């Protein structure tokens, strides 16, 4: 059984940990229902690279690292990003020298990952090969592939705080970390996305999946950025696999992060139904066959179903591993029902 998931950072990584746990626990195949042992269930994760940034000459890939560290048990669980037992001595030294950016939390252990990645990239290895090599250490239990090996960097167009009335482009990380997404974003621009190609393995993972999952990642700067890589959305529209998404919005608000600021900038209401509509129903040219909303949003089920997306209201708060494993079970259960209905 092949499961392919698109993923951004913290929310997506937490969901994937539950998905992996559920699949490992399943006595029978989670989608086909065949008894265990009749076929290993593989999980392929297509990771967002729009958040990637050069910091002090190092290539930092926040969403890839968050998935790798979370599934490899190296993540700082409180922050949700960066390394467990982290120190920031190098950052303190850089700040003492007055070297910008001082707003980016670059941890000493994390620098180890960025040094290996940067050295490998400079030696000519593509990001997908470098990610595979880094995962050799972390053994995340999934195959993690960047959405593209090409440059595709999310920038945010905002009103210049130092010169109101003129637009400037900030790297997503500066908008997200330095300004906490407080500067109203006019729009997002993923620099280089038009020329980007799906990384090796991405098309195959979509074309040959038995189920495709959109975890509760940021729908704009994570999932939609992956979908913006030419070819990826079309592969999802054409695949035989059921496509099931999990709402990142519960009772009109994101549980963590600032997805509402991103949705607002894109003119999308912050609701489970609006995010489903943003992805669209595959039966009418969009991407989703199924959608999970939290029980608190059960009332929105009829309007989403009317749009052609089979919807289930289940608990979506990722409070612990059992909760996220239960969400994963509901996701695969819905996919299974969608597979068996013509
Ligand atoms: N997020 C913050 O809120 N503050 C930081 O200083 C910060 C540093 C950082 C370093 C490495 C990394 O992989 C992630 C980091 N993040 C930080 C999180 C990051 O901005 C977000 O996880 C994603 O880019 C959005 O999903």
Helices (H), 228-320: 232-238, 259-265, 272-279, 301-306
Question: Are the beta carbons of 302 and 276 closer than 8 angstroms?
Answer: no
Same domain, 206 and 260: yes
In a 3-state reduction of DSSP, which class is residue 66? helix
Inside any domain, residue 116: no
Q: How far is the CA of 177 from the centre of ligand 1 (A)?
A: 7
Same domain, 169 and 245: no
Nearest to 264 by CA among 193, 174, 187: 187
Exposed/middle/buried for 68, CB within 10 Å: 0-12, 13-18, 19+?
buried
Same domain, 248 and 322: yes
pLDDT score at 257: 85
Final residue of a domain: which of 191, 215, 242? 191
Inside any domain, residue 20: yes
Q: How many CB atoms lie within 10 A of CB 183?
A: 19
Any atom of ligand 1 within 6 Å of the Cβ of 9: yes
Q: How far is the CA of 292 from the centre of ligand 1 (A)?
A: 27
Final residue of a domain: which of 167, 191, 215? 191
pLDDT score at 33: 61
Tokens of 221: 């700067």
Any atom of ligand 1 within 6 Å of the Cβ of 173: yes
pLDDT score at 37: 44
Helices (H), the chain: 10-25, 62-71, 89-96, 108-122, 127-138, 172-173, 202-207, 224-227, 232-238, 259-265, 272-279, 301-306, 321-340
CATH number of the domain that residue 332 is part of:
3.40.50.10680
Q: How far is the CA of 284 from the centre of ligand 1 (A)?
A: 36
Any atom of ligand 1 within 6 Å of the Cβ of 153: no
Minimal-distance CA residue to ligand 1 atom 4: 177
pLDDT score at 35: 54
pLDDT score at 32: 60
Residue 234 CB partners (closer than 8 Å, separation 6+): none
Any atom of ligand 1 within 6 Å of the Cβ of 245: no
Same domain, 289 and 255: yes
Inside any domain, residue 82: no
Any atom of ligand 1 within 6 Å of the Cβ of 180: no
Per residue in 299-330, pLDDT tens? Answer: 999 999 999 999 999 999 999 999 999 999 99
pLDDT score at 55: 98
In a 3-state reduction of DSSP, which class is residue 144? strand
Global confidence as pTM: 0.96
Segments forming the whole domain that contains residue 210: 2-50+201-340
Final residue of a domain: which of 191, 211, 245? 191
Q: Which residues of the chain have pLDDT under 70?
A: 27-39, 342
Same domain, 249 and 299: yes
pLDDT score at 100: 95
Q: b/e per residue, 295-324, with b = 16+ CB within 10 A?
A: eebeebbeebeebebbbbbbebebeeeeeb
Inside any domain, residue 71: no
Q: Which of 173, 180, 225 to mutate for ligand 1's pocket (most ligand atoms within 8 Å of CB)?
A: 173
Domain count, the chain: 2
Same domain, 174 and 231: no
Inside any domain, residue 137: no
Any atom of ligand 1 within 6 Å of the Cβ of 286: no
Same domain, 312 and 187: no
Ligand 1 atom at minimal distance to the Cα of residue 217:
26
Same domain, 168 and 186: yes
Q: How far is the CA of 91 from the centre of ligand 1 (A)?
A: 14
pLDDT score at 25: 87
Q: How many CB atoms lie within 10 A of CB 122?
A: 10
Q: How far is the CA of 290 from the centre of ligand 1 (A)?
A: 30
Any atom of ligand 1 within 6 Å of the Cβ of 104: yes
Same domain, 162 and 255: no
pLDDT score at 161: 83
Q: How far is the CA of 311 from the centre of ligand 1 (A)?
A: 32
Inside any domain, residue 286: yes
Same domain, 205 and 336: yes
């Amino acid at each position: 059984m092949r499961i392919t998931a698109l993923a951004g950072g913290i929310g997506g990584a937490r969901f994937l940990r539950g998905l992996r746990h559920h699949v490992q626990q399943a006595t029978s195949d989670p989608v086909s229902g065949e008894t265990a042992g009749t076929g290993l269930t593989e999980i392929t994760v297509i990771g967002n690279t729009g958040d990637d940034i050069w910091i002090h000459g190092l290539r930092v890939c926040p969403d890839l690292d968050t998935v790798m560290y979370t599934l490899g048990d190296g993540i700082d669980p409180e922050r949700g990003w960066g390394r467990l037992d982290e120190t920031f001595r190098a950052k303190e030294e850089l700040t003492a020298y007055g070297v910008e950016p001082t707003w980016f939390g670059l941890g000493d252990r994390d620098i180890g990952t960025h040094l290996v990645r940067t050295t490998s990239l400079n030696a000519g290895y593509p990001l997908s090969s470098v990610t595979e090599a880094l995962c050799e250490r972390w053994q995340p239990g999934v195959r993690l592939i960047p959405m593209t090996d090409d440059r595709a960097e999310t920038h945010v167009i905002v009103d210049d705080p130092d010169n109101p009335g003129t637009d400037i482009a900030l790297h997503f990380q500066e908008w997200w970390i330095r300004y906490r997404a407080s500067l109203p974003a006019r729009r997002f621009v993923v620099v280089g996305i038009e020329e980007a190609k799906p990384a090796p393995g991405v098309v195959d993972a979509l074309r040959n999946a038995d189920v495709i999952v959109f975890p509760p990642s940021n729908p704009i700067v994570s999932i939609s950025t992956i979908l913006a890589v030419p070819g990826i959305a079309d592969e999802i529209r054409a695949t035989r696999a059921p496509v099931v998404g999990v709402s990142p919005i519960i009772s009109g608000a994101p549980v963590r992060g600032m997805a509402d600021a991103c949705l607002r900038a894109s003119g999308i209401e912050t609701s489970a139904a609006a995010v489903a509509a943003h992805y669209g129903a595959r039966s009418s040219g969009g991407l989703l066959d199924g959608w999970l909303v939290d029980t608190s949003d059960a009332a929105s089920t009829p309007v989403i179903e009317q749009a052609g997306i089979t919807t289930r209201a289940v608990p979506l708060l990722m409070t612990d591993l059992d909760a996220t494993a239960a969400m994963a079970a509901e996701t695969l259960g819905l996919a299974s029902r969608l597979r068996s209905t013509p």
